[in-house]
Amino acid sequence: MLRLLKKITITFFFTLFLSLISPLIYADVNFAERPDVQLFIDQMVKKHGFKKQQLVTLFSAVKIRPQVMRHINKPLEKEPWHTYQMLFVSEWRIEHGVEFWNKYQTALREAERIYGVPASIIVATIGIETKYGQKIGEYRVIDSLSNIAFSNTKRANFFRQELVQFLLLTRDEGLDPLKVMGSYAGAIGQPQFMPSSYRNYAVNFSRSGKTDLMNNEIDVIGSIANYYQKHGWIQNAPVAVQALIIGDRYNYLLRKDQINEPLTISELTKYGVVPKHKIDQDDLKVKVIELQNHYEKEYWLGFRNFDVIKRYNSSDLYAMAVYQLSSYITSLRNRLNNG
């Protein structure tokens, strides 16, 4: 017993020692001295005309952020649906979604008219991304992107391209790259656009002369609507409908590994998958979505617009949260307006 206690004590103090010296170790790391960063700098100079010394100075100021890597390796989208739903489809987000909609109803109505994207989907997206602008990120974007871009993660190349886009964005917009704040993944502003999305889909919807996704909600509304439209949003088309599984023929669909293939509703009916509510067009292609609740799974059919939401975030959980939050916000707003 004494030997075990001694071993536990040594392990505890060793762990404490590492936690205390880690910040000192990280503080001594100069990002600009890394060979892969130096190669990146040379490529930015050659391809995009940046000045080498400016980039060396910039990357010398980049800080190692272990918490960024912890988040990127274990995102919330890996949680079960019931946990994710509790976090994002909350009473607070529903009630404040109604307030946001009422406050910006003119801009939302205009965005619907121009882009064909429902106000409820735009509002829900902002609600899930940044709690209606209240939480736009606590990390320097240059730190987040650099930490992931020059790591050994599978998505390092994607984030390296986003780092390129971020540097181009800050140069184009006259922003200080050391002062732009965002998420642990480098997403920016109230809509949490990655730098490439910011450059390609942000619009000056307010007609103020300068696109501002940090502080201008009108620009945020128009930019999200533009993003969804450009990725194929179909106006007045469904997003998702809950489904029932009848009998055991669904297991045959799983065995054939067709669960991720788009099938028509009439085709799925043969496997015992039927929508809870009648859908007029049986020839629409859908995908079966499985969500894990506390004790059992629930099933949904996702239409084309569901996949469009997934272009924002590729998780089924994220797209379902946007859809459900949008539905609850609409219901509450209608009740209050009619009451």
Q: pLDDT tens-digit profile of 117-152?
A: 999 999 999 999 999 999 999 999 999 999 999 999
Q: How confident is the model at residue 257 (pLDDT cuts 50, 70, 90)?
A: low
At 256 the pLDDT is 62
Q: How confident is the model at residue 200 (pLDDT cuts 50, 70, 90)?
A: very high
CA distance 159 to 150: 9
CA distance 248 to 83: 28
CA nearest to 44, candidates 161, 218, 133: 161
Amino acid identity of 180?
V
Q: How confident is the model at residue 255 (pLDDT cuts 50, 70, 90)?
A: low
Could you give the 3-state DSSP secondary structure of residue 23? helix
CA distance 218 to 232: 22
Cα dihedral value 252, 255, 258, 259, nearest 10: 90
Q: What is the mean pLDDT of residues 152-162?
A: 95
Q: How far is CA 161 from CA 12, 25, 111, 152, 164, in A?
A: 41, 28, 30, 15, 5
At 28 the pLDDT is 47
Q: What DSSP designation does 188 have?
A: B
Cβ neighbours of residue 45 closer than 8 Å, sequence gap 6 or more: 51, 52, 55
Q: What is the mean pLDDT of residues 2-20?
A: 46
pLDDT tens readout for residues 92-124: 999 999 999 999 999 999 999 999 999 999 999
Tokens of 31: 């990002």
Sequence ranges of the domains in the chain: 29-61, 240-302
Q: What is the mean pLDDT of residues 221-246?
A: 96
Q: How confident is the model at residue 282 (pLDDT cuts 50, 70, 90)?
A: low
Q: How confident is the model at residue 21 (pLDDT cuts 50, 70, 90)?
A: very low
- On the question of pLDDT at 23 being above 50, the answer is no
CA distance 323 to 313: 13
Could you identify the residue written with the tokens 């400016």?
A: 54
Amino acid identity of 233?
W
CA distance 88 to 85: 5
Average pLDDT, the chain: 89
Tokens of 175: 């922003």
Cα dihedral value 84, 142, 219, 161, nearest 10: -80
At 122 the pLDDT is 98
- On the question of pLDDT at 15 being above 50, the answer is no
Cβ neighbours of residue 319 closer than 8 Å, sequence gap 6 or more: 240, 302, 306, 307, 309, 310, 312, 313
CA distance 31 to 71: 20
Position with higher pLDDT, 269 vs 317: 317
Q: What is the mean pLDDT of residues 167-175?
A: 96
Catalytic site positions: 129
Q: How far is CA 159 from the centre of its chain?
A: 14
Question: CB–CB of 156/194 below 8 Å?
Answer: no
At 26 the pLDDT is 41
Helices (H), the chain: 2-27, 35-48, 52-60, 66-73, 81-88, 91-103, 105-115, 119-130, 141-149, 156-173, 195-201, 217-230, 249-255, 265-269, 304-310, 316-338
pLDDT tens readout for residues 306-332: 999 999 999 999 999 999 999 999 999
Q: What is the mean pLDDT of residues 207-229?
A: 97
Position with higher pLDDT, 76 vs 305: 305
